[in-house]
Structure 1
Amino acid sequence: MQTAPKKVINAWAMYDWANSVYNLVITTTFFPIYFAAVTKQAYGEETVPFLGRTFKNSSLYDYALATAYAIIVLLLPILSSIADSRGNKKRFMQFFCYLGGLACCAMFFFKGDQPSVGWGIGCLMLASIGFVGSLVFYNSYLPEIAAPEDRDRVSAKGFSMGYIGSVLLQLVGFGLVLYFSGKGDNSSGPLYTFLLVGLWWMGFAQIPFKHLPKGQAAVENHTKNFLTEGFIELGKVWRQVKSMPVLKQFLMSFFFYSMGVQTVMLAATLFGSTVLKLPDTNLIVTVVLIQLVAIAGAVGMARLSTRFGNIQVLIGAVIFWIVVCVSAYFIANLAEQGINTEYYFYGLAVAVGLVMGGIQAISRSTYSKLMPVTKDTASFFSFYDVTEKVAIVIGMLSFGVIDEFLGMKNSVLSLVLFFCIGLYGLVITLYKQKRSLFFKS
């Protein structure tokens, strides 16, 4: 196949520009900081009453995200199979985009008092479902618009565009926070930022919606209802995955190292605010720094994969992540001893940025290379995305539980186990890949 025209590639990458503001501004920076601050202010402590029991506010945040991802895990395989059988993946992508964007706008009304906690949690969950749901269909376009030799580059371009766009809105949000804080108002800055995230997401998404193809139907003549056809497509894809040992092994290893990667990305800001006690302004600046470094990291890892191979580069990245988690644990110990860890945290942030975007971009392009040539791209990518989202559910739940009972520094250290299992799986994947190529030759 040939790579699509530049206009289509740029339009595809623009969806990363559009929706990455949610991942950075909502889940990584402003919302967790705002949620922790307003709930503590409303109740006078870090415990929050919700659904008949009390939770540590940071753990409640973790549980809410885990629940949202669990819901989407149940929905996506069916929805993506229906999208493949009917050829309407763009319509599903639009639905989840608008669901997420409107939920972000609705966060404007989250004030943090007791009746409003449910509203804030509900908006967070709906926005997460919209973000994850739209990404499955967005990712599934990659093997349709890019030839195998171009997928690392195109995938990295999407992540780079996402980082650039999200940093721009992050800076706008930072300006709003400083402006309103100067007037003694600590709430309006984040609330207006939440509103802008939803408008930005839905507004810039119109570019990919205009230029991306509708998608090809895997079933030409529909003799069954859409739900039945969806399950038939899902079963067909599952049988193909089971018969491809390299692809199956890669998914298993991806499952484990994604537990670590995604949990670190979602919980990094809470770690800085609750464990290291860094000011909110410093945390926002740090997140911007991470995104800027991540742009170079995504492009750099794409070039390394061209030279050394995708699996080899992923193995190196996972080892680097293990070093990051162990370092974070020791930095937390220093903070407990009263030592100033601010600059250690900045160094750790740069390290995370170097591998954060790259490992996601290379993982996505590696999967697109390992999967067969097929019309069932949404269904195949639903396996990829469901694998990642189940990993997030387990990662966030375990992180929240350990945080609640043993403290967050031990939650961070526990992630090393997930990375080690993922590393072992990647080594096995590399062995199976080379063995497969040997027998083909």
Structure 2
Amino acid sequence: MAGISQRKRIWGWYFFDWATQPFHTLLLTFVFGPYFAGVAAEYFMTSGLNEQAADARAQSIWSLCLTVTGLIIGFGAPIMGALADTAGRRMPWIFGFSGMYVIGACALWWTFPDGSTMWPMLIAFGIGFIGAEYALVFVNAQLPSLGNQAEVGEISGSGFAFGYVGGILSLIVMLLFFVEQPNGRTLIGLSPVLGLDAGQNEGTRFVGPFTALWFAVFMLPYLLWTRDTRTAPRGKGIGDALGLLFKSIKNLRHRLSLSAYLGSSMFYRDALNGLYGFGGTYARLVLNWELVSIGVFGIIAAISAAAFSWIGGQADKRFGPRPVIIVSIWVLILVCLTIVSMDRQQIFGIPLPEGSGVPDAVFFVCGALIGGMGGVLQAASRSLMVRHTDPKAPTESFGLYGLSGRATAFMAPALIGAITALSGSARIGVSPLIALFLIGLFLLRWVRAEGDSETWTVSSR
């Protein structure tokens, strides 16, 4: 890394968040997810279901996709981290999973509005999502090398804030030049650019290739400035990697704080991912918003996320990550209670006049809080993990962190799918997220604010 300053390394690391954020902003939450939900609901209505049943079925198959990919990510991430640590290299893995990201995103172009390609497109989305999450394991593991314990909270928060700015700009570009309104025009009254056919939703479907292109271009600063921080190999092959992983899991019995933290984050991050995965589909299926409205909602949420992530980083630097996490979870619990208690006819049981704009205004506020507190929660969580990290095997440590965040990643979508199916309501289906947040909050009682990284030496004997 001769000739590359620490400041450049940090900025290169920030650019990974900038490059990858559109997968979450454009594909998971605000454009492709709601578009897919609308396509699926229309398909099921043409098959004979009424609107409420079709909406519930659409949400159920979206939850199935997130459940399956969550299982694959959860059980694969720690193995991938251990493999990288035994070899002492990370960049080859980042390259490989970046390829999955690009292939999966590009393929979403073929999500036709008649619903004929629903299942292949769910598979394509899953491939891209798995690639994005696996690459993140290795990139997160570079955080300890970018600063000391007093600095990593601010670096983590700034990285998330920078990434959210990228998400905002990518969403603005899509809304201004590509995503069609019902009249076939974009937000500024243009036909979708590049000669795309609004009648076939080609402007909206371009979100997949656009996300892949954005990633390919903006990964360049990361690849140029954030080189591999090689460590001495600790073995080779999958056997040694699994041995290292099982040893790490076994040693958790000596580390109450880390064990409690991994358990806590397993639940509250799963709930947060559930909000991200179903916020846009809720707006589409429950509030009947058009994609452009969901996109504007996304811009507000992303701006809030960028601002709050930076503020959260400063709060982390002053108070530490644990109190920042606690405040964020309580705010998100209140948001979930509001969402579950509201539809177009009422809010908290209070009837609303027909055509009332109250649900729309309230959900815009909820979106700002989801984006803002979600960004703060993710940044502070990454910072607290650094305080529990083995400096000799950071990828292995963040593999365990990835496992805690993804081992039950199937739970939120599976519970949402089950409750949606049982209740026949996409609104009520979101309610399990409240319980997941509360469990995560309860387990934080046993987490040390300063972490327990010093116990690695003892537990590794």
SS in 1 for 2:199: coil
1:6-85 counterparts in 2 under 5 A?
A: 6-45=7-46, 56-85=57-86
Q: What letter is aligned with 1:226?
A: G
1:195 maps to 2:209: yes
Indicate the SS of the match to 2:410: helix
1:177 aligns with 2:179: yes
Match of 2:361 in 1: 343
> 1:261 maps to what in 2?
272
Aligned residue among 219, 236, 250 for 2:233: 219
The percentage of counterpart residues that share the same residue type is 20
Residue 329 in 1 paired to residue 340 in 2?
Answer: yes
- Listed as ranges, the matches of 1:13-412 within 5 Å are 13-45=14-46, 56-113=57-114, 115-175=116-176, 176-178=178-180, 181-182=184-185, 184-185=198-199, 187-219=201-233, 222=235, 225-332=236-343, 334=346, 337=351, 339=353, 340=356, 341-374=359-392, 376-406=393-423, 407-412=425-430
Count the aligned residue pairs: 425
Structure 1 residue 308: Cα displacement: 2.3
Return the alpha-carbon distance in structure 1 between the equivalents of residues 217 and 284 of structure 2.
32
Give CA-to-partner distance per residue, 1:210-250, whole Å, 9 cap, x none. 22232323436x5xx51122112213322443322211111
Cα-Cα RMSD: 2.6
* CA 282–116 in structure 1, closer or farther in 2 if over 3 Å, else same: same
The one of 396, 403, 422 aligned to 2:440: 422
Q: In structure 2, the residue corresponding to 1:276 is in which secondary structure?
A: coil
Alpha carbons 2:180, 2:204 under 8 Å: kept:
no
Quote the offset at 1:303 in angstroms: 1.6
Aligned partners of 2:449 and 2:104: how far apart in 1? 45
Query: Normalising by the residue count of structure 1, what TM-score does the alignment of the two structures yield?
Result: 0.90
Structure 1 or 2: more helix by fraction:
1
Q: 1:174 to 1:47 in 2, by over 3 A?
A: farther
CA contact (8 A) 2:108 2:121 kept: yes
* Bigger shift: residues 279-288 or 424-433: 424-433
- Residue by residue over 1:332-361, the C-alpha shift from the partner in whole angstroms, topping out at 9 and shown as x without a partner, is 361695542111111211222221100000
| Pairwise CA distance, 1:46 | 8.1
How many Å apart are 1:409 and its aligned residue? 2.4
The answer to whether the 8 Å contact 2:153/2:313 transfers is yes
> For residues 256 and 4 of structure 1, do their structure 2 counterparts lie closer, same or farther at Cα, with a shift above 3 Å needed?
farther
CA 1:140–1:419: 2 relative to 1, 3 Å: same
Q: Which residue of 1 aligns with 2:194?
A: none
Change (3 A) 1:41 1:412: closer
- Structure 2 letter corresponding to 1:250: Y
Offset, 1:271: 1.0
For the residue of structure 1 that corresponds to 2:150, the secondary structure is helix
Following the alignment from structure 1 to structure 2, what is the Cα–Cα distance between the partners of residues 294 and 432? 25
Change (3 A) 1:293 1:67: same
Q: For 1:392, what is the secondary structure of its paired residue?
A: coil
Counterpart AA for 1:319: W
Deviates most, 126-135 or 399-408: 399-408
Distance 1:63 1:44, change over 3 A: same
In the TM superposition, residue 401 of structure 1 has moved relative to its aligned partner by 1.3
Decide whether the 8 Å contact of 2:324 with 2:376 is kept in 1: no
Residue 308 of structure 2 contacts residue 373 of structure 2 at CA under 8 Å; is this kept in 1?
yes
Moved more, 304-313 or 28-37: 304-313
Distance 1:45 1:62, change over 3 A: farther
- Assess, with a 3 A threshold, how the Cα gap between structure 1 residues 4 and 230 changes in structure 2: closer, same or farther: farther
Distance 2:229 2:448 in 1: 32
Q: How far, CA to CA, are the matches of 1:24 and 1:431 in structure 2?
A: 31
Q: Which moved more, 1:187-196 or 1:202-211?
A: 202-211
Give the whole-Å Cα distance in 1 for the aligned partners of 2:428 and 2:291: 23
Q: Distance in 1 between matches of 2:241 and 2:103?
A: 28
Separation in 2, partners of 1:256, 1:73: 13
CA distance in 2 between partners of 1:247 and 1:303 (Å) = 24
CA contact (8 A) 1:143 1:377 kept: yes
Aligned partner letter, 1:371: T
- 1:7 & 1:365 partners in 2: Cα distance? 20
Please state how far the C-alpha of 1:140 moved relative to its aligned partner: 0.7
| Structure 1, gaps ≥5 residues long | 49-53
Structure 1 position 410, deviation (Å)? 2.2
| Change over 3 Å in CA distance of 1:217–1:412 after alignment to 2 | same
**Which residue matches 1:51?**
none
Task: Decide whether the 8 Å contact of 1:65 with 1:128 is kept in 2.
Answer: no
Shift of 1:178: 3.9
- Give the conservation status (yes or no) of the 8 Å contact 1:47–1:55: no
Q: What letter corresponds to residue 307 of structure 1 in structure 2? A: R
Distance 1:146 1:206, change over 3 A: same
Could you give the per-residue CA deviations for residues 264-296 of structure 1, whole angstroms, max 9, x where no partner exists? 111101111111222322111001100001111
2:66 corresponds to which letter in structure 1? Answer: L
Unaligned stretches of 5+ residues in structure 2 = 50-54, 186-190, 192-197, 456-461
Q: Deviations over 1:125-162 (max 9, x none)?
A: 10111111111111111112221111011111211111
